[in-house]
Structure 1
């Protein structure tokens, strides 16, 4: 409390240091529910136009051509899809990551795409927001999706298209 009450500058410094420490902990931790295809966690620091800084960790990055994919992964071992709160958390990060400008990696500017990867050990095959309608229907049928699961995925795909990010739904251990 003393540090917070001294003045605004020391509060900002104190809270940024705590946020950086949290980012570092997340960066080196593999969550029990994570099912990542690579071990490429990355740190993201978002700086707004007022100089405020926000520290995040992206679950994975991949490089496709001249583009860097910022991948937020959510996994379920026991259900076809991760829980709705996990999906909402992923959507929040998609809003942030898809609206970034001036993205750099190793001090070089890069093009980027935000990707929400939803995985489950119960799924057969995979789809993405770029999949054709027939492929979506085949996937829903092969995995015995309920009408509410189907509706959720269709809404996620619509959201992805409207907000310029990609959704991938696929099998993973």
Structure 2
């Protein structure tokens, strides 16, 4: 059973201090910045959720956009900067399991036939995520750069590489925002939709 991080729970979990209230907040012990900057372009936090499986919290995820939106189709079609961050909270997440889960999520998003066109990109993604072992406390920042239609992969603020292709970007963000996302409650949380 998946645990949902509702808006009410999120608000109750916020732990503000005078020094950090404007720049970040803390959710279940994880610091989440209110904004991210990519190539001098500022992105704002659109929504945040938690991915859980079998009663175990796996990661806290945040969606950042240049213009806030609750329209998943508009976000997926957008050719502006956007980012997903994954804050790993479980030792169950290894580099191999993460890349496998992302590949499965993409397949769920685009279907068994649609996923075939992204074989090379998924291989690149696996290689980039596997440069070192993933552990609790690691933060992945996956940012879309419209200048060359690529997703930049950073781990703990360390650039690992990029994967190009606008269609890949749509399928990749579709893991969480498509008509058939990996977790519907997480999708609503990332969109800031209260159910």
Same fold (TM over 0.5): no
Q: Given the two structures, how large is their TM-score scaled by the length of structure 1?
A: 0.30
Q: Given the two structures, how large is their TM-score scaled by the length of structure 2?
A: 0.27
Bigger CA radius of gyration:
1
